[in-house]
């Protein structure tokens, strides 16, 4: 008799964005002539840049000839891409990595979800709150939590991100085995300074804590002194795994490519106290349960690091950041309390009049025909907030802002 993993049954059936899609669908069916603008889900809209498109055509042509054809690639990714990453994303910031500390993946979601397989089921988990739901859900599936009540999982340490702490909490008093951090942050758009990040690294070194650092939005950082990588902090190689994605950097949400860094000196512990390096364990995991990222996607990612690729990628990021700037200006002008959006593509807005997140979501949908993401969907401290993304076109962003303005003033 095959027994089911009952941890799955603790999860609600629906993923946040599926819930939103359902509610938007109901609206569309009952209002067939109304055009809805989504500033909700964090998907990009600009086309891939020319350098990437050219690289994909070239790679496709290679696959058409006997001499150019590539079958199974290395599970860890091709050296051409690992080298480009190492040189451009790390060496330029004074971080020295070996090639085999870089693992190419099919996007950060897979790896941030799967990485916890390397750890025992009974490690304690800490998350900043609100947070990307994958971090918690993947641990629920593995049995590392209790059950959920009022949006909180027992067995998970929540570290609230609030207006008071600038949405960057300080490390907890108590000991936690594994902590997820994401900066620039999804959903709040907050960034962390080197000084604040150093506190986390020092905490981790002191408590023997493992940090999972999600840097998927680092390309949106505008200020020079904000760290792009946790390895800019001394000691982080001993305590942190870092996740990167090309999804937002270069519009790869449909192309699927990213990478994970596991420094060789990073270890976890056996029950007997033996230190075990996680780099070879992840390598074993990937060789067993992953067969490498599409060759075309890897060539596409490589092209981001060419001079043209860098220039074109920056143009797209600037495009989105102009949206963010416009959103901040307009929403502030309307008297809303908004955060983020300066080094991140997300705007985190306090709902007016103490509306609940879902309540405001519905008001905005039915009143202004604009979709946002209810903050509480990201965790209990997100209640009373909504998230807007800057990933729309200029035109639709402006139109959405115009609708919000009209709706607010008539309200």
- Which is closer to its own copies, CB of 53 or CB of 334? 53
**Nearest CA-CA partner of 220 in 328, 307, 342:** 342
Residue 318 touching its own copies (CB under 8 A): no
Q: 157 near 124, Cβ under 8 Å?
A: yes
How many other CB atoms sit within 10 Å of the CB of residue 272? 5
> Is the CB of residue 404 less than 8 Å from the CB of residue 387?
no
- 148, 198, 208, 147: which is closest to 175 by C-alpha? 208
Specify which residues 259 forms β-bridges with. Answer: 104, 244
Find the helix or strand (DSSP H, E) in which 321 lies: helix 307-333
Which one, 204 or 226, has the nearer CB to its own copies?
Answer: 204
- Given CA atoms 343, 93, 78, 260 in this order, what sign does their dihedral have? negative
- Cβ distance to its own copies smaller for residue 209 or 229: 209
CA–CA dist 377, 358 (Å, integer): 9
Number of residues that bind its own copies (CB under 8 A): 88
- The mark string for 52-91 relative to its own copies (x by CB under 8 A, - otherwise) is -x--xx--xx-xxxx-xxxxxx------------------
Return the residues of window 332-361 that contact its own copies according to CB under 8 A: none
Contact segment (CB under 8 A) with its own copies among 45-53, 226-234, 343-351, 399-407 equals 45-53
Q: Near its own copies by CB under 8 A, which window of 173-181, 184-192, 220-228, 320-328?
A: 173-181
For residue 186, which of 238, 117, 112, 257 has the smallest C-alpha distance?
112
Site residues for its own copies, 135-154, by CB under 8 A, read: 137-138, 141
- Nearer residue to its own copies within complex by CB, 61 or 337: 61
Instruction: Identify which range of 31-39, 193-201, 270-278, 402-410 contacts its own copies by CB under 8 A.
Output: 270-278
The correct pick among 149, 223, 224, 271 for binding its own copies (CB under 8 A) is 271
Nearer to its own copies, 208 or 362 (CB): 208
Q: How far apart are the first and last CA of the chain?
A: 60
Query: Binding mask 382-401 vs its own copies (x if CB under 8 A, - otherwise)?
Result: -----------x--------
């Amino acid at each position: 008799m095959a027994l089911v993993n009952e941890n799955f049954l603790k999860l609600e059936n629906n993923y946040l964005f599926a819930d939103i899609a359902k509610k938007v669908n109901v609206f569309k069916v009952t209002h067939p002539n109304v055009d809805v603008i989504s500033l909700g889900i964090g998907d990009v809209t600009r086309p891939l840049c020319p350098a990437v498109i050219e690289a994909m055509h070239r790679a496709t042509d290679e696959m058409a000839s006997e001499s150019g054809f590539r079958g199974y690639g290395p599970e860890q990714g091709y050296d051409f891409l690992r080298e480009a990453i190492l040189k451009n994303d790390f060496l330029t910031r004074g971080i020295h990595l070996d090639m085999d500390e870089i693992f190419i993946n099919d996007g950060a979601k897979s790896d941030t979800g799967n990485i916890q397989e390397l750890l025992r089921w009974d490690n304690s988990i800490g998350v900043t709150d609100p947070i990307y739901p994958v971090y918690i859900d993947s641990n629920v599936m593995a049995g590392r939590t209790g059950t959920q009540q009022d949006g909180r999982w027992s067995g998970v340490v929540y570290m609230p991100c609030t207006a008071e702490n600038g949405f960057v909490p300080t490390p907890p008093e108590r000991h936690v085995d594994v902590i997820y951090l994401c900066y620039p942050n999804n959903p709040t758009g907050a960034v962390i300074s080197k000084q604040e990040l150093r506190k986390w690294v020092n905490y981790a070194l002191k408590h023997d804590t493992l940090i999972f650092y999600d840097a998927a939005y680092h390309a949106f950082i505008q200020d020079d002194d904000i760290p792009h990588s946790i390895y800019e902090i001394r000691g982080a190689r001993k305590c942190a795994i870092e996740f990167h994605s090309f999804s937002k950097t270069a519009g790869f949400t449909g192309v699927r490519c990213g990478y994970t860094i596991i420094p060789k000196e990073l270890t976890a512990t056996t029950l007997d106290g033996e230190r075990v390096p996680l780099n070879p364990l992840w390598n074993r995991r990937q060789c067993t349960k992953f067969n490498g990222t599409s060759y075309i996607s890897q060539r596409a990612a490589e092209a981001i690091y060419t001079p043209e690729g860098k220039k074109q990628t920056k143009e797209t990021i600037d495009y989105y950041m102009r949206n963010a700037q416009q959103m901040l200006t307009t929403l502030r002008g309307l008297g809303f309390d908004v955060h983020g959006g300066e080094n991140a593509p997300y705007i985190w807005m306090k709902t007016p009049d103490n509306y609940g997140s879902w309540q405001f979501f519905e008001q905005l949908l039915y009143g202004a025909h604009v979709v946002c993401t209810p903050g509480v969907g990201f965790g209990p401290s997100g209640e009373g907030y909504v998230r807007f993304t800057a990933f729309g076109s200029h035109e639709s962003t402006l139109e959405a802002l115009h609708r919000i303005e009209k709706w607010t003033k008539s309200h």
